[in-house]
Structure 1
Amino acid sequence: MNGRKHHIVVDTLGLLLGVKVLAANISDRAGSQQLLSELHRTQPHLKLHLFADGGYRGKWEGWVKTNIGFDVEIVQRPDANTRGYWLPEGQELSEAQIKTFRGHREFVVVKKRWIVERCFAWLSFDRRLNREYDLLPETTEAFILLSFIRRMIHTLAAFADQQAVAA
């Protein structure tokens, strides 16, 4: 994934709704705006509730609501923006305060974050997507689509097998 960023939109089951591969010098916000604009243009009937991390708070969030019409919910760790503490002279940091700093934090489940992380993990199973072999971003997008199609076929085949055994 060198030199490019992969932007994907998936539903809560991990089914692919849209994909856009862009140059690495395009910010995540700008790339997601391109993807959401394209998704809205090609599938205007979709009414989505987006889950995004804290980096998308602010102008991007407003842009999505006004230009695309999707609901946006920002999900992040409760201690995501802790940079430091002002303490009276002589007072030490508590153990709970120390744990809010990067490198000292404990694992915290962040609502819906695992869905996207799981989808990127699925993509990593495809050897073709582990390296940047393709000259055109459209080729990489096509292989991402193929990866999700293959995953869907395996899921449907497993479901069909379960139904056949049950019958």
Structure 2
Amino acid sequence: MWTNENRARYDRSNLRYPSDLTDAEWVLIAPLIPPAKRGGGKRSVDLRAVVNGLMYVLSTGCQWRAIPKDLPARSTVHDYLDLWDYDGTLDRIHHTLYVACREQAGRDASPTAGVIDSQSVKGAEKRGPRSTRRATMRARRSRARSGTSSSTRRVS
């Protein structure tokens, strides 16, 4: 319910972008991000800025090339997205936030029942788990000839 206390808690007007993480949100996910690997160079990128870049792309739906210049480079943000997807960091963040939301709502940490409709099952059979990240992937240019042009002559 929107009370004065809740409005202040969810106010994002003081952030650079509405998609940026607040301090309280960053405190929740910062411990879930793995430290830099031993033996390598010191990490030179601000991980909070990387997460803000990811959140910007996901919330606006913009192209990777359209990430604002005050956020990390698009290659850096995309590389961390790939790394965190590969090593399970995104899954750990999702699970932790999911459990916290359920507990905050007064529910059990894991649901005891689920609803699956036939359309969801059909979609999962066709595309599988790889379809969930299509919105965040870089666009690929087709090497094939365009389907709209044809090399055959028209007969008059």
TM-score by structure 2 length?
0.24
Bigger relative contact order (CA 8 A; separation at least 6): 1
- Structure with higher helix content: 2
Q: Which has the larger radius of gyration?
A: 2
